[in-house]
Amino acid sequence: MKREMKVFLLFLLTFGVLCMAGAAFAEDPVYGGILRWREINDPPKLDPAQATDTVSSRAIYLMFDSLVENDSDGKGVLPALAESWEGSEGGTVWTFKLRKGVRFHKECLGESTANGGREVTAQDWKYTFERMVRDNSPRAYFIEMIEGYQDFVSRDETGATEWSGIKVLDDYTLQFKLTYSFAPFVSVLAYNSFMVIPREDAEKWGKEFNFHPVGTGPFMLERWDHDQKVVLKKNPDYWRKDDKGNALPYLDGVELVVIPDNTIAYEEFKKGNLDAFQDFPDEFYVEAKATYGPLFRERPWVGTYYYGFNNSKEPFKGNRALRQAVNYAVDRERISDLVIEGRYPAGKGVLPPGMPGFNPDLKGYSYDPDKAKALLKEAGYPSGFECELQVNNNPRHKAVAEAIQAQLMELGIKLNIKVVDWGVHLDMCERAETQMFRMGWVVDYLDPDNFLYVLLHSSNHGSKGNYSFYSNPEVDALLAEARVETNWDKRIELYRKAEQLIVEDAPWVFLFHYSTSLLGQKWVKNMHLPAMGDYSTPLYNVWVTKK
């Protein structure tokens, strides 16, 4: 045999052996075990229609399903309880084909549910959406563009008995008719408020449904020891299967364990009493990264951290040069490195990385004290000025504010920091009673509309999201046009134009983008941190090797 042929055969043999060895070492999923996930407080709401916080959302993602779900890397939406969908009539009609064989939970708190474990149909979806309106869900207005929303909301006056824009075409076909073309509509439906529930159980329990949640998700509520833990057990009828057609979930259950103190939670994790620790605190970040290596998962979170100027009052009203000056006066990278261990990357604009339409070439503000001084002079404050910065009570926010305060002082800008609790902070920002305020925004749905339109369109001044009371007719027009544009590339172009104008106007100090983190024990397998945040980490395909 020629020498070359021998070498080739040897290579083939070696390659084959390595492949087989790799296959032998590749882990196969293991059924069984409980995963203990740390929560900072008891979830206030387990009814998806009423929950607005991330702790509740963690539990809800485990017990319920939506029509569509977000791709784990934030690249778009994927089928969930809807197998497929189609837009028509210029994007004003959306028709969803539902997955067959999806069943509601048979059990809740150890007792049989009123629905008996029956199949989900299109009628259940119509009921779910209408219930959101009837029960004053804080998030029903996200889909106010569905025809008949206002009539149904004011049904006492109009006499409307149903939400006319939601149609059940047959048991597995659901249709939405919109009053206007709304390009992000399908993305919005992935939000964790829009998850199907059974009429029988909702009507049986009324407001108490919050304590008897019944969905279609991989886990069912077994026990709720308030302020201690939420115990979920596997749903044996869960619709999802793994790649080989095996039943999911692998876990026997999940416990959401309430440990309010971060130090204690970390010690509990080190001791092995917790399997997953989300939203990892700054105090132990460096140690945990060094100790746990790849078990410490971290990635950009689709969110933005900023200081808003009150654009409706002095000194920032109508003074673009002043707002730009403050932006040039802040060294974002240095502050992130010094104060928060570099966890938050510096931000140039509104849209964070991971958001469709994010512009890596956006022209933002770099740290340039000379330019800042020149702009201060142009703005009429050559020696600096004094103003108040309000932040909500949180050690990280205070630390960042103090660092920025020190930095701005170098240019004669005296920032007086006022710390208030969250409720007061929201109230005051909404009523434009601040001069500068800290705010953060994390994605609701994967569309630039969720950031640019919500936070900066002039129709959303105040509580609807535009706390800086920013107004620019040109930006408004671009954002309104992008909302109804169905061509994706054109939409992105419109959003990028709008964002550049916004950055130039500087209604905010563009500071950072968020990151999300999740620490898992070495015996927890196949747990992947999604771009939508740690609390949405899917657990249906996670397994544990230690019981």
Partner 1 sequence: MFTYFLRKLLYTIPVLWGVVTVVFILMAVVPGDPARIMMGQRGDPATLARIRADLGLDLPLHRQYTKFLGELLRGDLGTSYRSNEKVSVALSVRFGATLRLAFWAMVLASVLGVTAGIVSAVKQYSVFDYSAMFLAISGVSAPVFWVGLLLLLAFAYNLHWIPGVGYGDGQAIYLILPVLTLGVRPAALIARLTRSCMLEVLSQDYIRTARAKGLAEKIVVIKHALKNALIPVVTIIGTQVAELLSGAVLTETIFAWPGIGRLAVEALVARDFPMIRGTVIFMALIFLVTNLVVDLSYGFIDPRVRFE
Task: For residues 532 and 39, give the distance between their C-alpha atoms in angstroms, rounded to a whole number.
Answer: 18
Q: Among residue numbers 326 through 365, which ones bind partner 1 (CB under 8 A)? A: none
Question: Is 496 near partner 1 (CB under 8 A)?
Answer: no
Per rule CB under 8 A, is residue 141 in the interface with partner 1?
Answer: yes
Residue 416 engages partner 1 in binding (rule: CB under 8 A): no
Check residue 258 for interaction with partner 1 (CB under 8 A): yes
CB 122 within 8 A of CB 168: yes
Q: Site map for partner 1, 203-222, x if CB under 8 A?
A: ----xx-xx-----------
- The per-residue b/e assignment along 433-444, b for 16 or more CB within 10 angstroms, e otherwise, is ebbbbbbebbbb
Burial class of residue 519 (count of CB atoms within 10 Å of its CB; 0-12, 13-18, 19+): buried
528 to each of 126, 381, 444, 540, 545, how far by Cα in Å?
Answer: 33, 50, 20, 11, 16
In DSSP terms, which residues pair with 254 in a beta bridge?
35, 232
Residue that has been written with the tokens 């006022």 in this structure:
418
Residue 259 engages partner 1 in binding (rule: CB under 8 A) = yes
Residue 529 host element (H or E): none
| Residue 228 sits in the site that holds partner 1 (CB under 8 A) | yes
| Per CB under 8 A, 282 contacts partner 1 | no
Q: Is the dihedral of CA 354, 346, 305, 264 positive or negative?
A: positive
Binding to partner 1 by residue 291, rule CB under 8 A? Answer: no
459 touching partner 1, by CB under 8 A:
no
Task: Select from 454, 484, 492, 501 the one that contacts partner 1 (CB under 8 A).
Answer: 454
- Rounded Cα distance between 468 and 461, Å, is 8
Q: Name the minimum Å distance from CB 518 to partner 1.
A: 20
Q: Which residues between 16 and 75 bind partner 1 (CB under 8 A)?
A: 41-42, 44-45, 50, 52-53
The answer to whether residue 8 forms part of the interface with partner 1 (CB under 8 A) is no
Nearest approach, Cβ of residue 226 and partner 1 (Å): 6
* CB proximity list for 315: less than 8 A, separation 6 or greater: 322, 381, 385, 387, 435
Amino acid at 347: G
Stretch that binds partner 1, among 332-340, 418-426, 483-491, 515-523 (CB under 8 A): 418-426
Q: How far is the CB of 209 from partner 1 (least distance, A)?
A: 9
Q: Does residue 158 touch partner 1 according to CB under 8 A?
A: no
- Residues at the contact surface with partner 1, assessed by CB under 8 A: 41-42, 44-45, 50, 52-53, 136-138, 140-141, 144, 153, 207-208, 210-211, 225-229, 257-261, 263-264, 267-268, 270-271, 273, 421-424, 426-428, 430, 439, 441, 444, 454, 462-465
